[in-house]
Chain A
């Protein structure tokens, strides 16, 4: 797997209703969606969540292939939780017995349920970063946090840190790719041999990467300071985001969706 295949936190440029929503609406919507996934206790409730995701994904005009590419690295984790859930959940008829481990129908059911929930959670939250520019995202976060700043929460600093972290992902990926190529040109091979030689082969990659990260960070700090950055106090925006009719519509749809999930949970369908 090449480093550049990791698309976590990447923005996908397109013009869609989802792209045009205010970042705050999308952040709260994503949080609500994750909450709904944890509220859902049945497959039918998860089906409702899947439908919701499908509609949003279609609206976002982000190709599904591009979205699922980011999921590939997480597949290992999902497979791992599936195995754990299947092996250690009791209940229902015993399907297979492997030594001390008994795989039951209840275990399999739970494993599938958890996997679907995880997949929906990752896909759902990736939609947020895919349709929101990092800058809009941090602005949204800052505004959402700002009521708490009276309680001493450094809202601006937190948002700025998050924004810089997001912005650094592609930069560090690029840097990794560059250093990897430079060392490969000197005959290094990554990802071959046993675990020890593999770990050792990472040293020529990690040392320059850390040096680069510090260099880039200090360059950035210098650039910010030379443009008189001194924290969030008294800072205003050139393009202030405002909530519109579109965001109201989104809120209504989300509320309706949440109600549906809760209703399915309480209904005989569950």
Chain B
């Protein structure tokens, strides 16, 4: 699904002394099956933008189009379009309420008006996708799951709606390294099967490892847009916005400052190693 954001502006508490402009004239588009990351400092307008993208708060000006349908029109087509966009909020486990994991995961599909059998089928499928064994976990209370399992159950609840674009707000926040790895693998496999993904993250290594496109938000405006290589080669500008580089890129730029310049940007440790071995190999070192 092609999602286009056109000249979106949003102001909180309009007309009050604590009026703040969260977004100003934001435009970009997400192609079908994309894997994009949205980065920005706290207060840059990310959360507001996400809520506008999934049809929750109407922008003060501008529009959001999903395959050409305006999300905020008062029509059935707009409602259908909104339901094709899934949103995993920060700490999604806080939204669990069902008596059983199955009931909770079925909540979304039921709201789509699907039959009980189909809801169950979808719930089992999405539980398997997130790595929870339905035969073992579907019948128990979501509150008796561990923290990481609860988050996966909550994500399954969103996946069960089979969104064409999935928005995730800091899905790995507070997870242990194993959980983070599993989350990355889940996002990657969903994307390979054709689901468009928009990931919000403060972890630049995660962004560099997963995303193909990066969108940088600063002070409510789109400050940069491009591939990982393009965005992360502008480390100085990112630093001024309170953002950092992925660890390998930061290391290479520190090397450059100490007189060991390399061309291009290294997003992964492997790329950095290759560049270093080229550099030192040329100077007669041992290589890496």
Binding site for B on A (CB under 8 A): 13-14, 63, 66, 178-179, 181-189, 203-208, 211-212
CB–CB B16/A185 < 8 A: no
Which listed residue, B17, B18, B51, B111, touches A186 by the CB 8 Å rule? B111
CB–CB B143/A211 < 8 A: yes
CB–CB B157/A185 < 8 A: no
Select from chain B the residue with minimum beta-carbon distance to A12: B17
CB–CB A208/B56 < 8 A: no
Residues of A within 8 A of B17 (CB): 13-14, 63
CB–CB A183/B95 < 8 A: yes
Mark each residue of chain B from 78 to 121: 1 if its CB lies under 8 Å from any CB of chain A, else 0: 00000100110100101111000000000110011000000000
Is B208 located at the chain interface by the 8 A CB criterion? no
| Main DSSP-derived SS at the A contact region | helix
Binding site for A on B (CB under 8 A): 16-18, 51, 54-56, 83, 86-87, 89, 92, 94-97, 107-108, 111-112, 143, 157-158, 161
If A13-B18, A187-B161 are given as contacts, then 17 extra A-B residue pairs at C-beta distance below 8 Å, sorted by A number, are: A63-B17, A182-B87, A183-B107, A185-B54, A185-B56, A185-B158, A186-B107, A186-B157, A187-B83, A189-B111, A204-B97, A205-B97, A206-B97, A208-B94, A208-B96, A211-B94, A211-B143
| Given A66-B16, A178-B89, A211-B143: A186 and B158 interface contact (C-beta under 8 Å) | yes
Bound Cα distance from A212 to B143, whole angstroms? 12
B76 to chain A, nearest CB (A): 14
A2 to chain B, nearest CB (A): 10
Most buried by A among B95, B108, B112: B95
Bound Cα distance from A179 to B56, whole angstroms? 12
Residues of A within 8 A of B16 (CB): 63, 66
Residues of B within 8 A of A187 (CB): 83, 107-108, 111-112, 161
Select from chain A the residue with minimum beta-carbon distance to B16: A66
Residues of B within 8 A of A183 (CB): 95, 107
CB–CB A186/B161 < 8 A: yes
A87 to chain B, nearest CB (A): 39
Residues of A within 8 A of B94 (CB): 178-179, 182, 208, 211-212
Residues of A within 8 A of B158 (CB): 185-186
Bound Cα distance from A176 to B154, whole angstroms? 17
Select from chain B the residue with minimum beta-carbon distance to A206: B97
Bound Cα distance from A187 to B107, whole angstroms? 8
Bound Cα distance from A183 to B158, whole angstroms? 10
B140 to chain A, nearest CB (A): 16
Residues of B within 8 A of A13 (CB): 17-18
Residues of A within 8 A of B18 (CB): 13
